Amino acid sequence: MFEEFDALSFDCYGTLIDWEAGIAAVLGPWGRAARPELTDEDLLLAYADEEARIEKEYPTTLYPQVLAEAFRATGKKLGIPVSDADAEKLGSSVPEWPAFDDSVEALRKLKTRFKLIILSNIDKKSFEGSNARLGVEFDRIITAEEVGSYKPNQKNFGALNAYVDAEGLKVLHVAQSLFHDHVPGRAAGLKGVWINRRHNRPGWGATPDPGAEVQPDWTFTSMAEFADAAVPQTVASN
C-alpha cells in the first residue's frame, strides 16, 4: 500500500521517543511533592498548552529553554513553585528520554526500503542523544533550530517539502501528534500515517487538542505495526 513513496519523514518526540515518559519523569516527582493526588496525566495535560504557546511566541528559542519556560508556566498554572534547578533538569533531560520499545527495530526495517527523514521540534544538540538511542542513520534531519520555528508552523513543512522536491522524493509523513503534524501536514499537501501511541488512553496527554478535524490516510497503534505493513516480510528478506 506504500509503493508510491520512497521516503518517510518522522516526528521524533511522541512517535519514536517517548517524550511523555521523559517529561513525566521530571514533572511527576515535582508535582506530587506538593500535591500527592496529581497523576502524570494531570501534569502532562497542564503542561501541553504551555509548551505549544511558548514555541509559538518564541520560535527561535532553543528547545531546552522552551522546556524550562514551559515548566515554569506549568508551575504558575498549578500554583506550585518551580526552582531554577527544576527548570534546568527538564531542559537538559531530552537525551535521557527513552525510545519506544519498537522504534529501533522498526526504523531498521524501514531503512531497507525508504529514505528516512526527521522533522522535529528540537535543537541539534539535544537530538544527538536521541539519535544515539534510535540506532539508525537518517538521510536528513530538519530541526526547529534550523528552520527558526516550531511545528505546527508551515515553515517547518515548507522546509521538508523543499528538501524532498530537490531530491525528487515522494514522502509520507509519520507522526503521533495530530496538533503538531497531521493538521499542518495535510495543509502542506502531505499524506500521513498516524502512529496512535495513545490509542488505549483518553485525551491528548502532552499534545494540545488539534483544534481541527483531520483524518490521517493510515492509522497504526505502533511503529512495529506500521513497519510490518510498509515492509512486508517477503520484501524485507530479499
Which residues are the active-site residues?
Answer: 11
DSSP secondary structure code for residue 50 in this structure: H
What is the chain's length?
238
Contact between 111 and 23 under an 8 Å Cβ cutoff? The reply is no
Instruction: Please check whether residue 51 is in contact with residue 58, taking contact to mean a CB–CB distance below 8 angstroms.
Output: no
* Cα separation, 94 vs 90, whole angstroms: 8
Residue with cell 519523569: 25
Which of 178, 142, 173, 147 is closest to 48 using CA atoms? 178
- CB-based contacts of 102: which residues, under 8 Å, 6+ apart? 222, 223, 224, 227
Phi, psi of 143 (to 5 degrees): -110, 160
